A and B are shown apart, each in its own frame.
Chain A
């Protein structure tokens, strides 16, 4: 059976999504982002994550009790294949260093890992057309989308790469809740769609489901909202 995308063709055509996408992290943001991208019709998706599914992943990630102990990427690829008919490429490993073509999505769980990926795989790498870095804590999410070869974008992004010790110390921001991860996964897919269709993509989006706040800004701009 083939998939019919006519109900989204006015938003994005399938040929526009023929771009390689690399996703680092198959956890709270990464697992729903991968599913949203696959549902959108992205067929050149590769997911990296070295972790196994643990009991605390079940409430807020796309894994069930039957997946406990399995590599996340294996369970995720199986789920996506069942729901879309297409199995993404994946590896139960951290993102290997080096340039990755097209869109690079960073959905890892620490600032140290983000900084490592930035230095090893994105900074001034012309093969990476768009870097999307999605972060969350509690009900707050931040999504940054930049061109890693644009000096203004590089300066902006590096200003956000704080140390893990400089993150908000309140315990609630070390928590993760399923409805927020689903929203962030959708925002990641929406950013890829904007990129694929040539709409403005670069900038920052902040969303908070506790106060129902949505803020956006372009690179170097001020927050609207």
Chain B
């Protein structure tokens, strides 16, 4: 039986909230590339913790993309 897909909630602040399916072992880079989410000027978190693009994403994980804002 094939491995179950990992369902990931992806929140891009200022933009969108999506629920996406990925193969087991997918990385944060895979998730962001597949969803066409740019990382320039943005902080990345998985389940509330800072994460780098090589972080492996699991079923039920929450990916949050936070823009670095500078206005006042």
A contacts, CB < 8 Å to B: 25, 27-30, 106-111, 114, 134-142, 162, 164, 166-170, 172-174, 176, 206, 208, 210-211, 213, 215, 217, 222-225
Contacts and interface: CB of A to CB of B under 8 A. Distances in A.
A212 to B, nearest CB: 9
Interface residues of B, number: 23
Contacts, number: 101
Interface string B1-38: 00000000001111111000000000000000000001
25 contacts: A28-B71, A106-B72, A107-B72, A109-B72, A135-B72, A136-B69, A137-B70, A138-B69, A162-B68, A167-B67, A168-B41, A168-B68, A173-B14, A173-B69, A206-B13, A206-B66, A208-B14, A210-B14, A211-B11, A211-B12, A211-B13, A222-B47, A222-B49, A223-B45, A223-B49
Sort A-B residue pairs by CB-CB distance and give the 4 closest, nearest first.
A137-B69, A168-B41, A168-B67, A222-B48
Interface of B: 11-17, 38, 40-42, 45, 47-49, 64, 66-72
Given A28-B71, A141-B69, A210 B47 contact: no
Most B CB contacts (10 A, CB to CB) among A108, A109, A141, A222 go to A222
B14 A28 contact: no
B40 A168 contact: yes
A166 B48 contact: no
